[in-house]
Structure 1
Amino acid sequence: MVSSWLSRWTGLRFSDNRPQTRRWLSRIVLSMGTVSLLAAPVTAFPSFDLVDEKDYRICAEGLRQAGITPLLSSQACAGVIRPKDLSECVVGISNTAQISGEEALVGCVSVRRPKELGVCVTSIVQVGRGVDPLNVLNSCGLSLLPERHSFCVVGLAEVNRDIPVDDLLNVCLRPPEQFIDLDL
């Protein structure tokens, strides 16, 4: 099959069925696969934003603005993959949610998606009626997809105004696995 495909592609005849010829053909096909892999567009591979000194500077400035000491902000910015996301998370949470910079930093450093954590906490605190901001930070930090968690809480809070937001945090964090488990 490979030889027939290669014959059509190259115009050469490969009617020899000896093991040496088969090995040679398999090397050609393997090398063609390698060449095609190397010729793949850059967008075919996962992209990681390149980080430069500006990102670290933004991170350190943001953390200092949130009240973090210079040594702690330096250590925190140096220890993460995307320092700019860390500072956005800490600044957003400390400005909106009345949470101290240190508490926000602990929350933002301990999750995989700090930018989403910041969005989660700020959106729930803005909608929440009398909700404890530290409870929101904890709930968003426990969620694997914090932004989606906030969509759940905010969407349900807008419709069900009689249910406390603290209860909705638990409902959205641990939904029932099957509908049979609903308390009807």
Structure 2
Amino acid sequence: MNNLLKLATITISGAFSLANFAFFSNSVKAENQFDVCLRELTASGVTVEDAQTGCADALVPRELSSCVTNISQSTSISAKDALTSCYQVRRPVDLGNCVVSINNTVLTASNKNTQAKVEGDNSQSPLMMALSTCQASLLPTRQSECVIALSRTPQASNPVKAMETCLSAEDFPRDLFPSYN
């Protein structure tokens, strides 16, 4: 009889556990990646219309909103500018990490994000250049690692020059390996 009582107690508590699991599973499933994307983009300051368009068109909406959130919360770049850039790349999460890494490690750490505008382009700050070079790079993680490393050397402490050098290095280095025709 005592074993039967234990079995009944285990069965009843197991049933309650399953009921709780089913309830919480359904409430989590009710919010899909499009819901998350819309919520995160609008919370970042993107208009509802732009958020709807961006999330609907994104291949992986959650990655798009993660990119925008990362950039807009960790830098002074607006959510609208971040959305435009994150929307136009294959690897939005990598783009966000690239911009934030360059900003935190190179620009903010050395107070170079407040310097004068980029030479030859009066409209672009070093931070906006970080956004555009990370966006232009096929491998944003490589871009940020390269910029960080080049900026650590005393001879190349100019972050703008480091961003340009790293981005141009992604092309095949024809100067080092000339073709013989």
Q: Which of 102, 109, 116 in structure 2 is aligned with 1:124?
A: 102
Over the matched positions of the two proteins, sequence identity in percent amounts to 33
- The answer on 1:66 being equivalent to 2:44 is yes
- The answer on 1:115 being equivalent to 2:93 is yes
AA aligned to 1:135 is: M
Q: Which of 139, 142, 158 in structure 2 is aligned with 1:145?
A: 139
Aligned residue pair count: 131
Tell me the residue number matched to 1:169: 163
Alpha-carbon offset, residue 111 of structure 1: 0.7
Distance 1:76 1:159 in 2: 39
Distance 1:180 1:112 in 2: 29
Between 129-138 and 119-128, report the one with greater CA deviation. Answer: 129-138
Give the secondary-structure state (helix, strand or coil) at the position aligned to 1:178. coil
Tell me the residue number matched to 1:93: 71
Distance 2:177 2:132 in 1: 28
Distance 1:161 1:126 in 2: 20
Q: Which is greater in Rg?
A: 1
Distance 2:152 2:37 in 1: 34
Tell me the residue number matched to 1:178: 175
Deviations 1:73-113 (A, max 9, x none): 01110101101100110011111120001000000001111
Q: With the length of structure 1 as denominator, give the TM-score of the two structures.
A: 0.65
Distance 2:154 2:72 in 1: 28
| Contact 2:150–2:156 (CA under 8 A) maintained in structure 1 | no
- Specify every segment of 5 or more residues in structure 2 that has no aligned partner in the other structure, as ranges: 1-29, 114-125
Alpha-carbon offset, residue 161 of structure 1: 6.7
AA aligned to 1:178 is: D
Tell me the residue number matched to 1:22: none
Deviations 1:115-146 (A, max 9, x none): 11001000001112313211110000110111
